[in-house]
Structure 1
Amino acid sequence: MSRSEGVSRRAFLGVLGGAGLAAAGCGPAESAGQLLVSGAPLPEPFTVPLPIPEVARPSGPGRYEVTQRVAAAEILPGSRTEVWGYGGTFPGPTFELRRGTPVTIAVRNELPVPTSTHLHGGVTPPGSDGYPTDLVVPAGHSTRHGHPGEVHHQVVKDYRYPVEQRAATLWYHDHRMDFTAPQVWRGLAGMALVRDEEEDALPLPRGERELPLMICDRSFEEDGSFRYPQAYSAHGGAHGGMHGGMHGGDWLGLDGDYMEGVEGDVILVNGAPWPVAEVAAARYRLRLLNASNARRYRLQLTPGGRFTQIGSDSGLLAAPVAHDTIPISPGERYDVVVDFSAYPVGSAVTLVNTLAEGMQRNVMRFVVTRAARDDSAVPATLSRPPRRPRPVATRTFDFRRTGESWTINAKPYRPGVPLARPRLGTAEVWRLTSDFHHPVHLHLAHFQILARNGRAPAATDGGWKDTVDVRPYEVVDVLARFDGHRGRYMLHCHNLEHEDMAMMADFEVI
């Protein structure tokens, strides 16, 4: 993706508008991207059953093999969509991991472009972290526009994960430099669940009453293919869709009107548009993931109901917390329990996004179809998370538009040039500031949110996290813990269009 393209006039005015609202005391603007309208007719909500991704099966002790390949999927009823998927599915398979049991996942690339896989939330050695220039290159592929220090693995790479971390909801996705946004949009994402003995001992809902929910948005061409606002195809012509312009990897740039981020007009859960799930009148554990490129959600149950949060990005909370709404930005996860016995059998309970209007306000629906015995519970004590360490340093990272780039500390991304060198086994306060909605993600380092604009964090900010939504003209202080491994890691905006336009930085754990 060309970094010479500036942020669009619409994006720039949106940033100025956020500043005006903040100055007027009206709070930050809630929009985090530009809506891309589909050319295809959209399906009726709540008519497609909720799919559950398959659980990956090991090919041997501690080893998995997964192939990234092109496949056709029925996403819109009656249409076929070309997806790029791990295992040829969208989402990819769910990896069930166990704390203390290391695994190797061999990723084979049979796509027409290079890839790099990042285990988001993983405490991972640097060589398996999915660095954006550490690429798995398909057979016969030649990269015309490489980057300094780019590493190529021919066809397959072994990613090694020690899994020395607490039970948590993780996910994995493509992380190729300059191309993360369009390649994730095409389907390169899936979930990974880490389990441990502490979680096993809890009487939480399990089995068919534990639902992984990967929420994202997409737009579609008239023929059912994914629509993405690229400016030019590999053949040099204007091209609005994705099915022809990215083969060979010579995609030349994002349409300038979408530089602030791309929001689709179809909401997908586990790859299905506005799906419906039949549930019993019992407690269900919902593992919520926002896998959208740019869209933010404020989730709510209607006609009413509460979420009991039991975990955040990086593991279980110490104690449950009840919420009426849950704000979730790209990359964040919330582990919650919903008690459907609070609704009469026959009830329709809709998960909605109060930040959106029209069809995009809907996410999915649950229909309570039957009474059921329920021996699950949410105990008052969930876990003993790591203690909050004492920081040894404070650093500031400013996320904003500088000239024609989205930058960190006024610098566009330069691979191999670290902005910080924290020491292994220490903790630091990192102050994050912004001019727009920037969901900030730290690789390796888990953190706790200390303050927003000098005030106490929100109730939904609790627990150890790896991604935080930094809102326009906001200052967020986090306490980051650098454990596990020495080496090169990253922090970046998880608005994937911002990430592709240089809003990343390296840090080196020494």
Structure 2
Amino acid sequence: MSGGVTRRRVLGAIGVTGAATAVGVPWLSGIGGASSTGVQLRSETTLPEPYTQALRRPTQLAPTRSDATTDYYEVTQRVARVRILPGLDTTVWAYQGSFPGPTIRSRRGRTTVVRHRNELPVPTVVHLHGGRTPAQHDGYPVDLIMPADGSLPHPHGDHVGDVRHGERDYIYPMDQRAATLWYHDHRMDFTGPAVWRGLAGFHLHTDEEEQRLPLPTGDRDLPLLLADRAFTADGSLAYPSLDPTLLTTPGVRGDHVAGVLGDVVLVNGVPWPQAEVPGARHRLRLLNGANARRFRVALHPAPPGGGGLVQIGTDQGLLAAPVPHDAIELAPGQRFDVVVDFARYPAGTLVELVNEFGDGRTEQVMRFKVGERVDDPTSIPEVLSEVAPLRAADAVVTRTMRFGAGNVVNSVGDHVSGWKINGLGFSPDAVHAAPKLGTVEVWQLVSDLHHPVHLHLAPFQVLRRGNGGPGPYDLGWKDTVDLRPAELVEIAARFDGYPGRYVFHCHNLEHEDMAMMGNMVVS
């Protein structure tokens, strides 16, 4: 495993700072901060026509056993061949051999234990994104699961955490509100290429409050993982790793340090799929699982009267009340739960879910073919949940976190370039914040480019953007916020649950891998 020294030497060769001082195309794929920070790869093979393949629902993982308090699951991480593009097989790294990985469901009041077995050729780490999790089970970036075949020696050095060989049990108390969560690889230096190769899946958590609501369920509750990828001529996943083995040298080639974008939009691993839906309400759990691409999703055509995307939830669960939108912006790592009433369309209508931040074929996401109206006992209540607001006055401290590109000093004293927070590139030894358990803090987040900021452990609420209040997509309890170029966002975070060392970072995965991550030690 490589440590921070190797990563920073690589960043020095790439020269992040020089590019960041001249932000523009190709670093920003859009203009005016409206799109994504990153550079798009071009596929080398023939791509399918949109809407010619059926949407697939991720498989649901059954527990291997259950007792009075706990459900136990087993997941194997392995190399698999899957069919993504017609006529070609693609090698992926997958949970249970599928991309996305299988969906795990949990219920508040019951502990979830997931045993992960690593049959991949590299170390891995698993993070339950959005989980309220004890530190030793949160997926700290150097708490590795080494390959089960013993092909790699035990890692040594300053940046070695709690290392297990072959298998590891992750224990999740799940003492938290119902929410659309997800799990993915989180190894230091290599999160971006590991997720790109397939290591991601849904974890859907429920509670009694959500169960009492007359929201769509069953076949009308659709988890949708949005992502982008690019492909080589033989159907392999294209990714600009400096080291394709993902064992030694971290980082990506050239301008891709800004972020890696693909030219194929996948929904649940299917390129531009179509779903046949009856004329009834459906719950769409939208997850931006892309490395760097931001989406602005909208329905085309919009239903009569507009407001076709009725938001009922965000990263950390239900909103206080539903909010209708004509479009919703999702940064990497974010989740939005919306209800779409397809009965507002005549039977036979073809309704596209489009990406208004896209260009060319990345403007298309998926299509719904609306069927006949059916009996629909569901509704959207005017009151969904109680969301007690956090206030700046509740905070015991205010911190400023500046996200940007610039010089750092590695452990041998070399001045190199990388992504940083408050002038520091990531090291397991560097502490950015030391919150007290049970307190509220205000963090002022300041950016140079697009940086979707994710806090582990601590749910938060957005207090303001710039001189205004929260934006239209900032409501409710969140764990990831879309920080746009040259912007200040103020959040109030609640540090409760568990003590220990956690991280916060940019969820542009190339930024994260290249040091834009910090430690917070909760005590």
Q: TM-score, normalised by structure 2?
A: 0.91
Q: Distance in 2 between matches of 1:183 and 1:80?
A: 18
Instruction: Give the paired residue count.
Output: 492
Q: How far did residue 103 of structure 1 move?
A: 1.3
Matched position secondary structure for 1:246: coil
The question of 1:107 aligning with 2:107 is answered: no
Show CA shifts across 1:265-295 (max 9, x none). 0000000000100001111000000000000
Paired residue for 1:237? none
2:277 maps to amino acid: V
Paired residue for 1:290? 288
Show CA shifts across 1:43-81 (max 9, x none). 110011000011111011121011000110000011100
Q: State which of 2, 7, 16 in structure 2 corresponds to 1:2.
A: 7
Paired residue for 1:278? 276
Q: Distance in 1 between matches of 2:85 and 2:172?
A: 35
The question of 1:92 aligning with 2:96 is answered: no
Q: Distance in 1 between matches of 2:215 and 2:36?
A: 35
Q: How far did residue 414 of structure 1 move?
A: 1.1
The question of 1:56 aligning with 2:61 is answered: yes
1:351/1:336 CA distance change after superposition, 3 Å: same
Q: How far did residue 228 of structure 1 move?
A: 0.3
Q: How far did residue 462 of structure 1 move?
A: 0.3
Paired residue for 2:497? 484
Q: How far did residue 119 of structure 1 move?
A: 0.1
Q: State which of 366, 369, 372 in structure 2 corresponds to 1:367.
A: 369
Q: How far did residue 370 of structure 1 move?
A: 2.2
Q: Residue 189 of structure 2 contacts residue 250 of structure 2 at CA under 8 Å; is this kept in 1?
A: no
Paired residue for 1:497? 510
1:150 maps to amino acid: G
Show CA shifts across 1:209-237 (max 9, x none). 00000000001010001000123x4xxxx
1:16 maps to amino acid: A
Q: State which of 439, 444, 459 in structure 2 corresponds to 1:431.
A: 444
Paired residue for 2:412? none
The question of 1:45 aligning with 2:50 is answered: yes
Q: Residue 172 of structure 1 contacts residue 191 of structure 1 at CA under 8 Å; is this kept in 2?
A: yes
Matched position secondary structure for 1:411: coil
Q: Output aligned runs, 1:213-292, within 5 Å.
A: 213-231=224-242, 233=243, 245-246=244-245, 249-292=247-290
Q: Residue 18 of structure 1 contacts residue 472 of structure 1 at CA under 8 Å; is this kept in 2?
A: no
Q: Residue 283 of structure 1 contacts residue 339 of structure 1 at CA under 8 Å; is this kept in 2?
A: yes
Query: What 5-or-longer segments of structure 1 have no aligned partner?
Result: 234-244
Q: Residue 18 of structure 1 contacts residue 28 of structure 1 at CA under 8 Å; is this kept in 2?
A: no
1:313/1:15 CA distance change after superposition, 3 Å: farther
Q: Distance in 1 between matches of 2:250 and 2:482?
A: 29
Paired residue for 2:22? 16
Q: How far did residue 391 of structure 1 move?
A: 1.1
2:8 maps to amino acid: R
Q: Residue 293 of structure 1 contacts residue 495 of structure 1 at CA under 8 Å; is this kept in 2?
A: yes
1:188/1:269 CA distance change after superposition, 3 Å: same
Q: Residue 11 of structure 1 contacts residue 259 of structure 1 at CA under 8 Å; is this kept in 2?
A: no
Q: Output aligned runs, 1:11-410, within 5 Å.
A: 12-13=18-19, 16-17=22-23, 27-28=32-33, 30-61=35-66, 62-138=71-147, 139-140=149-150, 141-142=152-153, 148-231=159-242, 233=243, 245-246=244-245, 249-305=247-303, 306-388=308-390, 390-403=394-407, 404-410=417-423
Superposition CA RMSD, Å: 1.9
Query: What 5-or-longer segments of structure 2 have no aligned partner?
Result: 1-5, 408-416
Q: How far did residue 329 of structure 1 move?
A: 0.3
Paired residue for 2:3? none
Show CA shifts across 1:72-113 (max 9, x none). 000001110011111111100101110110111000000000
Q: Distance in 2 between matches of 1:32 and 1:490?
A: 22
1:363 maps to amino acid: V
2:368 maps to amino acid: F
Q: Distance in 2 between matches of 1:70 and 1:11?
A: 36
Q: TM-score, normalised by structure 1?
A: 0.93
Q: How far did residue 144 of structure 1 move?
A: 6.9
